[in-house]
């Protein structure tokens, strides 16, 4: 009898549940939006109970769409966004909303930890930089501004861990998400008393750390009744969303790179054994693949920047729906030459993380003349994000040089890949081939693959990739555009430095 695998992927805007066959074929998909709570300006908080409700509905949708008997699901894997602590009380229920990484209140906590050198000491001991929306600033904010709720806290988990708790009744986390808290001194696989002391996190609140593919327990009868799954279905610990996506892209070997062009743009490379940047300018975590580590450079600019421009300046293009709208954007931008006739976009509308970290950086369009049209702006948006990714790639290459290692191929996924023009531009700006993976739900697939590894459907991550990760479309750099993009990247960097005193406050 064929086995099916369920992957659940919790993002900051929504939750997806997808059922796959043993070859990675998508059989059924469910989606539920996860809204921010209607709090103050600049706040970004969510109620974990809403995640659980969304999970129930999305799993029901996936099972119905797949038209399978739930007893055919061999295992469940979970994926979720990194860094954000979920504070649980005595009944293992949230005592407060969860602060999401782009909450603007975190800036002051991040600054305070930086000025007292707490972040510097954490970075020196972990090899990983700490950003505004990471675990230490979030915990610092709660400790300082909500001490009563912290006193009620008995356990701290990560977002996808809360869903697994509701499915199985077991408290715990796994090595990938644990290293994303900056409380594990890599290459170790346990909570560090020294790092916990620096961040003032009581170690007793932190859960046990397991392997990502390890079976946690089975779906309880109570969870089965509300999700439609069969009681007794094995559930693995899972992993962080970007790392599950790497597995779903097939990025599991040393030197391979994953490009995730979603809300943000993230370049994440895999290395065998612990790796770090000489100046600690990247994030370092353990992969969901045992023995492998990842280094990441991430820009705040991604599909969200195109979405901003689309909503404000191109609503007319979407009168006939999303598909037609994005095709219209692509056709308009494709008519403009590489370099957008001198129009340069530094796309820091949400601040920036790599290669510099400044949540208050602002965006600029430069070189504007009366000759420029809306199509020029569209292409410059795509090119501006590509320039940010090129700077991220440069940081990863510096890690590889320090290790005397050659970087392998770039495999790409994410919502931003829906237009062929964008990966083509990115390939030309990065001067590297990009293989676009033809699987729209790589996060869910990676979580499902972990479930398959843990339950014996696959003998190893390598076998899972061989069986599940399908065809790619390869984009080669356009050599005719190389001079234009060399000039663009040079102007992009010089303009950013020129406006920094005025716009990076």
**In this predicted model, what pLDDT tens digit does every residue of 425-454 receive, in sequence order?**
999 999 999 999 988 899 999 999 999 999
Q: Taking 80 as the threshold, does the pLDDT of residue 471 lie above it?
A: no
Kind and range of the H or E element at 76?
A: strand 73-80
Looking at residue 109, its pLDDT comes to 95
Per-residue pLDDT of 389-406, as tens digits, reads 999 999 999 999 999 999
The DSSP secondary structure of 249-304, one letter per residue, reads: HT--STT-EEEEESSSEEEEEEEES----TT--SEEEE-SSTTEEEEEEEES-SHH
The two domains 4-242 and 303-389+483-503 share their CATH topology (first three levels equal): yes
Q: Tell me, what's the pLDDT at 42?
A: 80
Q: Where are the domains of the chain?
A: 4-242, 303-389+483-503
* pLDDT given for residue 441 in this prediction: 92
Give the model confidence (pLDDT) of 167-195 as tens digits.
999 999 999 999 999 999 999 999 999 99
409 pLDDT more than 90: no
Whether residue 40 is predicted with pLDDT greater than 80 in this model: the reply is no
Mean pLDDT of 9-20: 95
SS3 366: strand
Given a cut of 80, whether residue 1 has pLDDT beyond it is no
The phi, psi pair for 240, rounded to 5°, reads: -65, 155
Q: What is the pLDDT of residue 205?
A: 98
**Which residue did the predictor score with more confidence, 2 or 5?**
5
Q: What is the pLDDT of residues 151-167, one digit of tens each?
A: 999 999 999 999 999 99
Residue 128 is predicted with a pLDDT of: 94
Q: Residue 505 has what pLDDT? A: 63
For 119, phi then psi, to 5°, come to: -65, -40
Phi-psi region of 18 (alpha: psi -120 to 50; beta: other; left: phi over 0): beta
Mean pLDDT of 481-496: 96
Tell me: pLDDT of 410 over 90.
Answer: yes
Q: How many residues does the chain have?
A: 505
Average pLDDT over residues 78-87: 96
Other residues' Cβ atoms within 10 Å of the Cβ of residue 104: 16
Task: Select the CATH number that applies to the domain covering 4-242 from these four: 3.30.420.40, 2.40.128.260, 3.30.310.40, 3.40.50.1820.
Answer: 3.30.420.40
Output the pTM of the full model. 0.94
- Give Cα 476 to chain centroid, integer Å: 25
Instruction: Name the 3-class secondary structure at 220.
Output: coil
* Confidence (pLDDT) at 60: 98
Angle subtended at Cα 277 by Cα 109 and Cα 82, rounded to the nearest 5 degrees: 45
> Which pLDDT value is given to residue 369?
96
User: Average pLDDT, whole number, for the chain?
Assistant: 94
Residue carrying structure tokens 């479309």 = 473
Inform me whether the pLDDT recorded for 418 exceeds 80: no
| CATH architecture for residues 303-389+483-503 | 2-Layer Sandwich (3.30)
CA distance 285 to 280: 13
Query: Which residue shows structure tokens 């994303």?
Result: 180
- Give the pLDDT mean for 305-331: 93
The Cα 315–Cα 46 span in angstroms is 29
Q: How far apart are CA 236 and CA 285, in angstroms?
A: 19
**Pairing mode of beta strands 86-88, 155-157:** antiparallel
Task: Tell me the two tokens of residue 484.
Answer: 């234009």
Q: Quote the CA–CA distance of 491 and 339 in Å, as a whole number.
A: 10
What pLDDT is recorded for position 504? Answer: 66
* Burial grade of 151 (CB within 10 A; 0-12, 13-18, 19 or more): exposed
| Mean pLDDT on 123-149 | 95
Question: For residue 333, which of 310, 304, 351 has the smallest C-alpha distance?
Answer: 310
Q: Identify the residue whose tokens are 């509308």.
A: 349
Taking phi first (over 0 means left), then psi (-120 to 50 degrees means alpha), and beta for anything else, what does residue 40 get? beta
62 pLDDT more than 90: yes
| Helix (H) or strand (E) run with residue 28 in it | strand 26-33
């Amino acid at each position: 009898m064929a086995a099916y695998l369920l992957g659940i992927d919790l993002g900051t805007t929504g939750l997806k549940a997808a059922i796959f066959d043993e070859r990675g074929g998508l059989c059924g998909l469910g989606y539920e939006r996860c809204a921010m709570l209607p709090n103050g300006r600049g706040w970004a908080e969510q109620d974990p109970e809403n995640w659980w409700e969304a999970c129930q509905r999305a799993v029901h949708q996936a099972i119905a769409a797949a038209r399978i008997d739930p007893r055919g699901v061999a295992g469940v894997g979970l994926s979720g966004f990194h860094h954000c602590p979920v504070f649980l009380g005595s009944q293992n229920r949230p005592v407060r909303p969860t602060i999401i990484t782009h909450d603007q209140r975190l800036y002051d906590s991040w600054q305070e930890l930086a000025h007292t050198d707490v972040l510097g000491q954490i970075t020196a001991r972990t090899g990983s930089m700490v950003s505004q929306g990471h675990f230490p600033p979030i915990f610092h904010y709660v400790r300082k501004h909500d001490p009563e709720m912290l006193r009620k806290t008995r356990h701290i988990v990560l977002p996808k861990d809360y869903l697994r708790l509701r499915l199985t009744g077991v408290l715990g986390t796994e090595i990938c998400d644990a290293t994303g808290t900056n409380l594990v001194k890599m290459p170790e696989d346990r909570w560090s008393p020294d790092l916990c002391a620096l961040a003032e996190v009581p170690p007793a609140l932190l859960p046990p750390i397991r392997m990502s593919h390890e079976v946690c327990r089975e779906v309880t009868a109570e969870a089965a009744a509300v999700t439609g799954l069969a009681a007794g279905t094995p559930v693995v610990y899972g992993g962080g969303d970007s790392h599950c996506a790497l597995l779903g892209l097939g990025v599991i070997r040393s030197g391979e790179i994953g490009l995730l062009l979603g809300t943000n743009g993230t370049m994440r490379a895999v290395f065998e054994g612990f790796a770090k940047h000489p100046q600690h300018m990247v994030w370092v975590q353990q992969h969901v693949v045992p023995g492998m580590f990842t280094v990441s450079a991430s820009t705040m600019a991604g599909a969200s920047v195109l979405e901003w421009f689309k909503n404000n300046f191109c609503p007319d293009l979407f009168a006939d729906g999303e598909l037609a709208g994005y095709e219209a954007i692509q056709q308009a931008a494709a008519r403009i030459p590489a370099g957008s006739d001198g129009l340069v976009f530094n796309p820091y509308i949400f601040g920036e993380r790599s290669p510099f970290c400044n949540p208050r950086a602002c965006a600029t369009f430069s070189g504007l003349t009366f000759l420029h049209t809306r199509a020029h702006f569209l292409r410059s948006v795509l090119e501006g994000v590509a320039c940010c990714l090129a700077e991220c790639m440069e940081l990863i290459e510096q890690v590889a040089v320090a290790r005397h290692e050659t970087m392998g191929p770039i495999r790409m996924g994410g919502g931003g890949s829906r237009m062929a023009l964008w990966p083509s531009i990115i390939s030309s700006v990065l001067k590297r081939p990009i293989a676009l993976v033809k699987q729209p739900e790589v996060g869910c697939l990676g979580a499902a693959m972990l479930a398959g590894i843990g339950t014996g459907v696959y003998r190893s991550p390598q076998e899972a990739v061989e069986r599940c990760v399908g065809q790619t479309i390869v984009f080669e750099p356009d050599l005719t555009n190389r001079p234009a993009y060399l000039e663009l990247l040079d102007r992009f960097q010089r303009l950013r430095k020129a406006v920094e005193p005025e716009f990076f406050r």
